[in-house]
Amino acid sequence: MPTLKTTLAAFATAAVLGVPATASAEDYTIGVSIPSATHGWAGGLNFHAEEAKKRLEKLYPNVSITIATASNPGEQANDLEDLVALRHIDALVVLPFESGPLTDPVRRVKQEGVFVTVVDRGLTENGIQDLYVAGNNQEMGRVSGKYIRERLEDEGKIVVLRGLPTVVDDQRVEGFQSALEGSNIEILDMQHANWNRDDGFEVMQDFLSRFDDIDAVWAQDDDTALGVIEAVRQAEREDELFIVGGAGMKDIIKRVMEGDDLVPVDVLYPPAMIATAMDLTVQHFMSNGPVLGEYILASPLITQDNAEQYYHPDSPF
């Protein structure tokens, strides 16, 4: 199965320039099924999905896109049934609320002859989707660890706030630890903060009470990082350490743009990946080339020099 890395360039160029890759007389209906805006990253996901819908429907008048949001796996499974039965979709772009409960519902959609694009949270069974679009979790951890290692010049004491106990979190931590191998950086403790601002605040409060010497914090997630920032400021220890989060939240990127010493960088894991998935799914019908396989987004380090290109002030995230 070919990968998108060899076929994407022409499609991406056409989408960016607002020029259809090919003309088509057929009409196509695309369903997009995503979680509701229950937290910051998901809010950004919803924003970028709506923006992509408007852009693609304007660019391709023969394409109609329906977005369905769900607050739990059962609701999302029902949404998938409706998209097939009522909307008669030709393609599905789905970011599963949870991988396990959505695997069978997505399989049933595929069995109806629908082109399936899965985003971010993979299904528990391989071979169902035609296209997979996601961030690079291991690379996100590795880039974070590399920055911390270089900034501390191979020596220091750090704490780590993990996400939810999932494969995604494991991959990020694995990449992070691999970047620190061979250094004299000591991880004082790791605790799950569930990619949550309140939990990040509580976990960081605990770290600050137990450790007098902390040189850096890997928060892994920008929602978590906001909780960490508040805990550090309440403890009046802003001058002792720096924080590395991740995702690309506009509030964090703005701090990076402004040269905030407490948050000098961020690492991208963009909710805008849903727009990439929608673009590529449309190109399956509009282009003459295959759009199949996997497309894994990069996880660049966001610094003061390049932060402006990742800043979306109108996004809720």
Q: Specify the CATH number for the domain of residue 40.
A: 3.40.50.2300
Chain segment 142-198, per-residue pLDDT in tens? 999 999 999 999 999 999 999 877 777 888 999 999 999 999 999 999 999 988 899
Q: How far apart (Å, rounded) are the C-alpha atoms in residues 251 and 142?
A: 23
Is-contact 243 262, C-beta < 8 A? yes
The verdict on 108 and 191 lying in the same domain is no
- Shared-domain flag, residues 112 and 170: no
pLDDT (0 to 100) of residue 128: 96
pLDDT at 111 over 60: yes
Tell me: do 36 and 115 sit in the same domain: yes
Q: Are residues 145 and 72 in the same domain?
A: no
Would you say residue 21 lies in a domain? yes
Asked if residue 151 and residue 234 are part of one domain, the reply reads yes
Interval 208-229 mean pLDDT: 97
Q: Do residue 11 and residue 128 come from a single domain?
A: yes
* Domain annotation covers residue 201: yes
pTM exceeds 0.75 for this model: yes
Query: Has residue 187 been placed in a domain?
Result: yes
Domain count, the chain: 2
> Of 227, 246, 267, which one is at a domain's C-terminal end?
267
Highest mean pLDDT among 36-45, 77-86, 119-128, 157-166: 77-86
Say yes or no to pLDDT of 22 above 50: no
In the predicted model, is pLDDT for residue 313 greater than 90? no
Range of the domain at 47: 4-134+271-296
Average pLDDT, rounded, for the chain: 90
Q: Residue 155 falls within a domain, yes or no?
A: yes
What's the pLDDT at 312? 82
Kindly state the average pLDDT of the residues 235-262. 96
User: In this structure, is residue 301 part of a structural domain?
Assistant: no
Residues 25 and 128 occupy one common structural domain: yes
In this structure, the number of other CB atoms found within 10 A of the CB of residue 27 comes to: 12
Q: Is residue 252 part of a domain?
A: yes
Same domain, 58 and 21: yes
| Helices 99-111 and 73-85: angle between axes, nearest 10 degrees | 10
Residue 285 lies in a domain: yes
Q: Check whether residue 199 and residue 185 sit in a common domain.
A: yes
Residue 70 confidence class, pLDDT cut points 50, 70, 90: very high
Same domain for 216 and 187, yes or no, is yes
Same-domain status, 127 and 101: yes
Task: With beta carbons less than 8 A apart as the criterion, state whether 278 and 93 touch.
Answer: yes
Domain membership of residue 122 (yes or no) is yes
CB 229 within 8 A of CB 208: no
**88-92, 95-99, 155-159, range with the lowest pLDDT:** 95-99
Q: Do 129 and 184 reside in the same domain of the chain?
A: no
Nearest to 183 by CA among 160, 159, 157, 155: 155
Using CA atoms, how far apart are residues 63 and 131, in angstroms rounded to an integer? 19
